[in-house]
Amino acid sequence: MGDMLKIGGQELTSRLFLGTGKFSSNKLIPDVVKASGAQVVTVALRRVDMEYEEENIAAFVPKDCILMPNTSGARNSQEAVRIARLAKASGCGNWVKIEIITDNRYLLPDNYETIKATEILAAEGFVVLPYMSPDLMVAKRLVDAGAAVVMPLGSPIGSNRGLKTKELVRILVEEISLPIIVDAGIGRPSEAAEAMEMGVAAVLVNTAIATAGDPVAMARAFGMAVEAGRTAYLSGPGDILDIARASSPLTGFLRDQE
């Protein structure tokens, strides 16, 4: 219980955040959340419809989870701010994932517009979790803008290509005082464990779980991988060496018996 992740005044025991897009059925979501142990679940506001429960993805998120609307579909800071305000007015709380994308091919976030939206919403009391392309100077500006965390991508969203930005993420972990959460691109539980071993605070996973043959089993695997990676990080992994070092003495044993 001592290793808690604190964001926006909330204490979290799970360091796996879940996305809710791409599931073959919204009815899978409660079982996926339970299997993963996740406490934070993000949803696109355009998929929240309070009037029609069957179409309202938020209705499938367990009540004890933190519902985090994202600004998917926003192409500039003004649109992102408007979506965040609508989400709060709809009863979705004050957590928001800022996602501003103008690149239609690789779906890379617009860091400049993200900084602007973060500053506006943080000043209004939102707990802002900005999704960004990993860049140290941008991360520092997000800190100054009032972000609660910094969320660099691991690789292009939905690609399942893994932690391709590893060295850039490592720099953010070393230099930024806020929690670093890897968002987008993580495709395997082993990659989630690798990210956690680097010292990131959490990972957000959607596609890798939602498109698995058995999403519930994959969610369970990711939950265990994140926990294992975090435990490994806290345990202090041994040094990586360029040469071999024997675990036991190699000289003298047989000669001493003659």
pLDDT of residue 22: 84
What is the amino acid identity at position 109?
P
- The structural domains of the chain, with segments of one domain joined by +, span 5-257
Model confidence, pTM: 0.89
Residue 30, judged by CB atoms within 10 A of its CB (0-12, 13-18, 19+), counts as: middle
Rounded Cα distance between 55 and 49, Å, is 6
Residues annotated as catalytic are 97
Give 166-216 pLDDT, tens digit per residue: 999 999 999 999 999 999 999 999 999 999 999 999 999 999 999 999 999
Rounded Cα distance between 47 and 192, Å, is 27
> Domain 5-257 has what CATH class?
alpha beta
pLDDT by 10-residue block (mean), the chain, 258 residues: 86 94 87 94 71 66 90 94 92 92 92 97 97 97 98 93 95 97 95 96 96 96 97 87 74 59
pLDDT of residue 252: 58
